[in-house]
Amino acid sequence: MDVQTTLFGATDTVDLDAIERRELTEGAWVDIARGWLPGADDVFDTLVRDVPWRAERRRMYDRMVDVPRLVYTYMIDEPLPHPGLETARDELSRHYLAELGEPFRTAGCCYYRDGRDSVAWHGDTIGRGSTQDTMVAIVSLGDVRQLHLRPRGGGDSVKVAMGNGDLVVMGGSCQRTWEHAVPKVASAGPRLSVQFRPFNVF
Ligand SMILES: O=C(O)CCC(=O)C(=O)O
Ligand SMILES: [Fe+2]
């Protein structure tokens, strides 16, 4: 019996055969695998309960504003709050090793409580993402939200729905040549995002 079979039962394994790649411009791409994470409902419940969620405030020009989502980042070697996430990270590391050249090490978590929570346009360019190709692998849990992507130089944007258990991987030059956002919506239930990143990519 392999680890995945032990954790999730014989029919539930983390299957990366069903990934579809969408090439963007300038060497950026997104991989999408729908319903990828086994036991997504259980992972959602556990994360809502057990992640030490933090509300952050940021300086915006001359005033402090609430960051419109709750966050917590599991750093290198910090145990993850659900075994399914450890399996997912290790399976992603194995699947992408030849292309990425290193494993996924950290897990950033975001909690979008309702449609008012969001993340503004940005690239994950703290650390190496500003100069090197890298990957950010997102596992989405809970209600559906849209990941919007747009080329930094201008051009058509791309919208990717992220539903419960879906995997969306941004790769290649995506963090430095494109930006991404999760816009506010009129109505949405809670959604969690877990972003696996290699060392020194934030
Ligand atoms: O909610 C998401 O899936 C994306 C979050 C994100 O882009 C980030 O935290 O850098
Ligand atoms: Fe991001």
Query: Measured from the CB, is residue 180 less than 6 Å from ligand 1?
Result: yes
Residue 71 lies in a domain: yes
The residue-averaged pLDDT of 130-148 equals: 97
Confidence of residue 4 (pLDDT cuts 50, 70, 90): very low
9 in any annotated domain = no
Kindly identify the ligand whose nearest atom is closest to the C-alpha of 175: 2
Predicted confidence at residue 18, as pLDDT, reads: 84
Answer whether 193 contacts ligand 1 (Cβ < 6 A). Answer: yes
pLDDT in tens, 49-98: 999 999 988 887 888 888 899 999 999 999 999 999 999 999 999 999 99
Is the pLDDT at 169 greater than 90? The verdict is yes
What pLDDT, on a 0 to 100 scale, did the predictor assign at position 12?
Answer: 55
- Which atom of ligand 1 is nearest the CA belonging to 202? 10
> What number is the average pLDDT over the span 151-173?
97
Q: Is residue 6 part of a domain?
A: no
Query: Which residue range(s) make up the domain with 130?
Result: 21-197
CATH of the domain at 134: 2.60.120.590
127 Ramachandran zone, left/alpha/beta (phi>0; psi -120 to 50): left
Q: So what's the pLDDT on residue 13? A: 60
- Look at residue 63 and tell me if it is in a domain: yes
User: How much is the mean pLDDT over the chain?
Assistant: 92
Q: Please check whether residue 166 is in contact with residue 34, taking contact to mean a CB–CB distance below 8 angstroms.
A: yes
> What are the pLDDT digits (tens) for 33-58?
999 999 999 999 999 999 999 998 88
**What are the pLDDT digits (tens) for 113-126?**
999 999 999 999 99
Stated pTM of the model: 0.92
Beta bridge partners of 148: 159, 181
Residue 1 lies in a domain: no
* pLDDT greater at residue 76 or residue 7: 76
Q: Is 119 in the pocket of ligand 1 (CB under 6 A)?
A: yes
Of all residues in the chain, what percent carry a pLDDT higher than 70? 93
Question: Is the distance from the beta carbon of residue 124 to the nearest atom of ligand 1 less than 6 Å?
Answer: yes
Structural domains of the chain, count: 1
Which residue's alpha carbon is nearest to atom 10 within ligand 1?
124
Q: Which region holds residue 88: left if phi is over 0, alpha if psi is between -120 and 50, else beta?
A: alpha
Positions of E strands within 36-135? 54-60, 63-74, 106-112, 119-122
